[in-house]
Every structure is written in C-alpha cells, then in structure tokens.
Amino acid sequence: MGTHPSGPSKVFGTETPLSAVIDEDASVALGESVSKQYGGKLPFLFKVLSIEKALSIQAHPDKQLAQKLHSERPDVYKDANHKPEMSIALTDFIALSGFRPLEQISEFLTTYPEFNALVPNSSSAFKQAALAGSDAEKRMALKGLFAELMNAHKDDVQVQLDALVQRVSGEKEAALVQRLSKEYPGDVGCFCVFMLNVLELKPGQAFYMGPNDPHAYIYGDCVECMATSDNVVRAGLTPKLRDVPVLIDMLTYDYGSPEHKLLQPQVEGKHKIYDPPIDEFTVKCTTVEKGEQAALDPIDGPQILLVAEGHGILAAGEDTLPLSPGFVYFVCPGIHCTITSQETSLVTFTAQCQ
C-alpha cells in the first residue's frame, strides 16, 4: 500500500495509481509540510505479510549508503532512499533481529561445536573480546566472527549443518535451526540463529529495525511499515542475490538483549500508537467493540487506513464508506473520520506521517 513503483497502489475500480492522485496536487494530498519535506512523494510504504517460509537474513542501508549503491548498481538497488521499518505482529510471530548479547554467542560457540567449526580463525579472539574487551573491540570481534561465518565455504556449511541437525534436539535454538534447514538446506543463514536475537512476539507486539540492522522474518503474520524504498541487502536464507561484502561492511554491530528491539505502543483510548524514532511514519492500531465508535482525528499529513478484522462504517465528512477485512482507504490531511463497528469488534491499522 503506497506509491513505490515496484508495487504501486491503484484507486479501487480503476487503473489510476495512487501516485497520480498525489501528483495532481501534493500539497492537498500530503499536506504542505510533508510535501515539502519529501519532495511531493508519499514517505512511507505499508504492507501486510504472511510468512510461512522464512524471509532472508538482510539489512537495509542508511541514506548515504543507499545513494552510493543506487548510483553504482541501479539494477540491484532500485532507489536512493533508506528503509527503516517496523513490524506489528498480527499472530504469534518469530523473527531474528539484532545481534545477541556477546556472552550468549560465546556460550553457543562452546555448546555447538558445529558453529565453532565454521569460524576457526575468529572464535578465540571473539570470546576474549566478549569477556574483557572495550565496546569498540567487541564490535570489531563481532564483525570478524560474523564475516567468517557468512563467508564459510558452502561444503563446510553443509557438513556442519547436517551434523548439527542430526545431533541435537529439544533446545529452542536447535529446533529453529532444524526448521530453517528444512526450508533452506545447506544455507549458512541457519547458523545466524546463534548470532542474532530470536524474537517471539504475541499479537500487538512490535519491533523496529533501523538502518544497517540485521534481521529476518521466520514465521507468522504482521503489519509492516517502512520508508518508501525497496533496498534490501541479503546474505542468507534466500535464493535471491546475496551481497555478503556489503552486508558485512554496512552493519553497526550493535548487540544486546531481544527486549531492547521491542517497540512499546502508547495507549490513547481505543488507539495504540506505535511511534518509531524516525519521521517518515507512525502506525495507529484502533480497536472498536461492537456498536461503538472511535474518532480518527485529522492530522497535517497523509494517512492510509487498513481494516484488519471486523466490519463497520467509515464516516468522513458527508461520505459513508464500508469497512471490511482488507479494505484500504487513503485519507488526506485535515479529514476527520469516525469508525463505527458492526456485528463484531473492528480492528484497523492506520499509517500516517505529519
């Protein structure tokens, strides 16, 4: 849902892209401030994902790197924008995000000799830095470990992955490796389970992925919002192009517990506000019980409203519009809307920028 050329939204019942509507008068469609800040373009892209097979180990470049990659390889990196993103779980949801606490990675190097066998040149230095190094030394050692893992020879990866899958069972990490190895046999990305945090989200929980932050979606349904870009640097769990050198160099090598990846919403009446630390978007989840109403106050920027579940009515000025699962509305600045639920509770997600 948005205007990116890789998958542009169209006005319902027509072939008119949303971008054409915005281009007619961006100051009306986006608001003067948003139009000026983002060059007359919608600054966010809104998605619903249903993941049965894991999506790639990946990261998204910051603006400076995005511009460089797009300039050098426009056939691969299609635009020059960054792509910070946020995901809100609709079901139980599993993802990898950010590097684990270093002591956990050190422990896994001991617990899982197959993992250690793929990083023989960096594991000892990493363990030493994790135990007593400065922050800079820890990041450097983490980069060295990750680089050696991601550059391991595919034959060695296959041998060690087969040995690991046959040897272990029961542990959460081992079970996840087994799942991934069935989806991507012989893929080095399976070993990223031992380096990246495993997030297990319940419906309504969210996490934020900033630029140069490694992550992967493993299983479940989510609502996802991001800056308008399609730039993805991949390195594992994928049949698509892998750009391992770029991924290794671009990461910040921040590390820490999975809890620090979560984004806590602010509750305002019937609304939960998910507000990541960027300007391009905020997402509002609205839950309206049967027969009740909720107001969507006007803002100075554009909004895209998605119905996740339930049925009801959207009142905007003199217009009355139906709400059912999968219905999507673009709301211009300054428009006051009221949502009324019918039959059952109604849940909407609204991406917005102001």
Q: Which residues are catalytic?
A: 234
SS3 51: strand
Q: 51-71 burial string, b = 16+ CB within 10 Å, else e?
A: beebbbbbbbbbeebbbebbe
SS3 340: strand
- Which of 171, 176, 214 minimizes the C-alpha distance to 56? 214
- Which of 79, 108, 110, 84 minimizes the C-alpha distance to 97? 84
Q: Three-class SS string for 213-241?
A: CCEEEEEEEEEEEEECCCCCEEEECCCCC
- Listed in sequence order, the residues at least 6 apart from 210 whose beta carbon sits closer than 8 Å to its beta carbon are 84, 277, 278
Cα–chain center distance at 16:
28
Per DSSP, helices labelled H in 301-342 are: none
Instruction: Please give the Cα distance from 181 to 176 (Å, whole number).
Output: 9
Backbone angles phi, psi at 275, to 5 degrees: -125, 90
* Six token digits for residue 226: 């991001």
* Six token digits for residue 266: 């602010």
What element of type H or E holds 347? strand 337-352
Eight-state DSSP code of residue 187: -
What element of type H or E holds 273? strand 271-274
Q: How many CB atoms lie within 10 A of CB 314?
A: 21
* Six token digits for residue 105: 């990675």
Angle at 77 between CA 72 and CA 78, to 5 degrees: 110
